[in-house]
Amino acid sequence: GQQVMQIPQYQHVQEGEDFTTYCNSSTTLSNIQWYKQRPGGHPVFLIQLVKSGEVKKQKRLTFQFGEAKKNSSLHITATQTTDVGTYFCAGTRSGGSYIPTFGRGTSLIVHP
Amino acid sequence: DGGITQSPKYLFRKEGQNVTLSCEQNLNHDAMYWYRQDPGQGLRLIYYSQIVNDFQKGDIAEGYSVSREKKESFPLTVTSAQKNPTAFYLCASSDRGSSGANVLTFGAGSRLTVL
């Protein structure tokens, strides 16, 4: 079945440093979504990417979708303590059902 | 406010007992889902339903059962057949989607501990 791999599992940064998490799929995706889960909370939708090579920005967050639509990344510039949480990518297989498959997530720890 | 309500938030049960987790949504979404979250495992799909009176098994359906008698409600029963039921359970809903993906709205979760 479809697999979505996400790395790293954990990332410690000093406040102000940049952070990147990577997502790779074993199959071509029709789109990819990103969610954030704060400690003790539930996942909250951040963004969806649909087009090959698409790049979207939300303030300090930059999301990219690969040209082959098999990989994606989330980059945070100048992290803040409010960025702490686990970031999940979720890919929907091209030609498959509409159900996204989640990666295992990357937990970001920001040290003040 | 529109949203998803899960109850109870915390639940303790003895081994061998069935437990039912409630999930109600007032977003008028057609599709509903149950995920299980364990540390380091991400979100694994247990069951989903895209329409009333119909549901499909996800990746880890063994030991679980669901029903979808109303659009707003999608309860999950964790049966005694589930070998390792202690986990955080998340319910979600979405529109059926026409763009090739369903954007999920999650409830706050139910944490089940089996003693």
Residue A66 reports pLDDT greater than 80? yes
User: For strand A85-93 and strand A29-37, is the pairing parallel, antiparallel, or unpaired?
Assistant: antiparallel
The pLDDT value recorded for residue A3 is 86
Which stretches does DSSP call E strand in chain A?
4-7, 10-14, 19-25, 29-37, 44-49, 55-58, 61-65, 71-76, 85-93, 101-102, 106-111
Encode pLDDT of B21-70 as tens digits. 999 999 999 999 999 999 878 899 999 999 999 999 999 999 999 999 99
Q: What average pLDDT does range B66-88 have in this prediction?
A: 95
Supply the pLDDT for residue B98. Answer: 54
Share the mean pLDDT of chain A: 94
**Residue written as token pair 């039912």:** B20
B54 touches chain A (CB under 8 A): no
Is the predicted pLDDT of residue A81 greater than 70, yes or no?
yes
Which residue from A42, A50, A102 is facing B42, i.e. has the nearest CB? A102
Q: What is the pLDDT of residue A52?
A: 96
Q: Tell me, what's the pLDDT at A48?
A: 94
B41 in contact with A, Cβ within 8 Å: yes
Residue of B46, B93, B104 to mutate for A, most A C-beta atoms under 10 A: B104
Q: Does position A2 have pLDDT exceeding 70, yes or no? A: no
Q: Which of A95, A76, A63, A85 has its CA nearest to residue A19?
A: A76
Q: Does A102 touch chain B (CB under 8 A)?
A: yes
- pLDDT tens for A13-36 read 999 999 999 999 999 999 999 999
Residue found by looking up tokens 């406010």 in the block: B1
Q: Give the span between the Cα atoms of A26 and A53, in whole angstroms.
A: 18
pLDDT in tens, B94-111: 986 555 568 999 999 999
pLDDT the model gives residue A97: 73
Q: Among positive and negative, which fits the CA dihedral A24, A26, A31, A34?
A: negative
Does B79 have pLDDT greater than 70? yes
**Residue with the larger pLDDT of the pair B38 and A98:** B38
Q: How far apart are CA A98 and CA A90, in angstroms?
A: 11
The residues near B98 (Cβ < 8 Å, ≥ 6 apart) are none
**3 state DSSP class of A17:** coil
Report CB contact under 8 Å: B40, A104. Answer: yes
Cβ-based contacts of A103 with chain B (< 8 Å)? 42
Which of B40, B103, B106 is the closest to A42 by Cβ? Answer: B106
Work out the pLDDT band at A91, boundaries 50, 70, 90: very high
Residue B106 contacts residue A43 (beta carbons within 8 Å)? yes
